[in-house]
Chains A and B, each alone.
Chain A
Amino acid sequence: QKEVEQDPGPLSVPEGAIVSLNCTYSNSAFQYFMWYRQYSRKGPELLMYTYSSGNKEDGRFTAQVDKSSKYISLFIRDSQPSDSATYLCAMRGFYNQGGKLIFGQGTELSVKP
């Protein structure tokens, strides 16, 4: 079993839809949770960074962490064609030498005009 599970998709939605992306994990030591967006043939771009459980909002993006269920989500409101990309969840422990990240497999999202 992988430490972090993420549905690879592809996920296709119409423009304006609310998108829900999710990851589950098995290691209860994970404390920091990240979402990255990666366009084709580009480097990952950090979207959200959260510590422990709770919600964080930034514009159209909301990240949720539920440590009791070992489940994290990223919601995208009013999705746009420019949101079409691969979304990677990543996480790490509190005292983690060098900040090694454990990634999910990535979910490919397509937003249709």
Chain B
Amino acid sequence: DTEVTQTPKHLVMGMTNKKSLKCEQHMGHRAMYWYKQKAKKPPELMFVYSYEKLSINESVPSRFSPECPNSSLLNLHLHALQPEDSALYLCASSQDSPSGRAGEQYFGPGTRLTVT
């Protein structure tokens, strides 16, 4: 099974709201990722967690706050977002090792976020 699940499927939030996106995988993968995708563009990497530790932050604004509570779960906490943050937010996972030789990366279905 190569399934990555994400909740919610859709989210509409105002600029003053606080919300969270959730991601889960049960493939035993130790690397998990958050991507942002705008229409007709490829996914854009935001964060990488390796063995539950943040290993890459692609200079993402602090209104996005990632959290990895355990090896199966990944959250993205959202606060004071802007309308330009409206996008498809994708979670992905892959095997990882201390040397960074990650395997195939599997994506979830995404959360479609609209900021009003």
Contacts and interface: CB of A to CB of B under 8 A. Distances in A.
Interface of A: 8, 34, 36, 41-46, 49, 88, 90, 92, 94-101, 103-106, 108
A113 B43 CA distance: 30
Interface of B: 2, 4, 6, 31, 33, 40-43, 45, 48, 50, 55-56, 88, 90, 94, 96, 99-110, 112
B42 A42 contact: no
A60 to B, nearest CB: 19
Contacts, number: 75
Contacts of A101: 45, 105
B109 A42 contact: yes
A42 B112 CA distance: 9
A43 B23 CA distance: 13
Contacts of B109: 42-43
Contacts of B6: 43
